Amino acid sequence: MHLSEHSLRQLDETYLDSLEEKALRALSVKLLDDLKEARDRLNQGPENSSRPPSSRVPWERKSGGGQTDEDVADSGFEPEPAEAPPAKTPPAEAQSARKAGKQPGAPGRGRTQVLHAHEECSHYPEVCAGCGRPLESAGAVAYTGFQAVDPHWGDPAQPGLTRWVVDHRYYEISCTCGHRTRAVAGQGVVDPLLAGIELSEWRLVGQGWRR
Ligand SMILES: [Zn+2]
In degrees and rounded to multiples of 5, residue 54 shows phi and psi of -70, -15
- The CA 168 to ligand 1 mean position distance, Å, reads 25
- The CA 121 to ligand 1 mean position distance, Å, reads 24
Residues 6+ apart with CB under 8 A from 124: 135, 137, 140, 171, 173, 183, 188, 189
- The CA 131 to ligand 1 mean position distance, Å, reads 4
The pLDDT value given to residue 150 = 81
- The CA 171 to ligand 1 mean position distance, Å, reads 15
DSSP tag of 164? E
> Euclidean distance between the first and final Cα of the chain, in Å?
29
* CB distance 151 to 117 below 8 Å: no
- The CA 39 to ligand 1 mean position distance, Å, reads 27
- The CA 183 to ligand 1 mean position distance, Å, reads 14
The pLDDT value given to residue 142 = 95
Looking at this protein, which amino acid is placed at residue 96? S
Beta bridge partners of 167: 120, 147
The pLDDT value given to residue 104 = 78
- The CA 192 to ligand 1 mean position distance, Å, reads 24
- The CA 118 to ligand 1 mean position distance, Å, reads 34
* CB distance 127 to 133 below 8 Å: yes
DSSP tag of 134? B
- The CA 144 to ligand 1 mean position distance, Å, reads 21
- The CA 177 to ligand 1 mean position distance, Å, reads 4
pTM over 0.75: no
Predicted confidence (pLDDT) per residue in 98-107, tens digit: 777 777 778 7
Q: Which of 168, 170, 172, 171 has its CA nearest to residue 197?
A: 168
The pLDDT value given to residue 73 = 47
- The CA 125 to ligand 1 mean position distance, Å, reads 11
- The CA 135 to ligand 1 mean position distance, Å, reads 8
**β-pairing verdict for 180-182 and 189-190:** unpaired
- The CA 182 to ligand 1 mean position distance, Å, reads 12
**For the chain, how big is the Rg over CA atoms in Å?**
25
The pLDDT value given to residue 211 = 42
In the chain (211 residues long), the average pLDDT of successive 10-residue segments reads 93 96 97 95 74 62 51 48 54 62 75 79 95 94 90 75 88 96 72 49 53 42
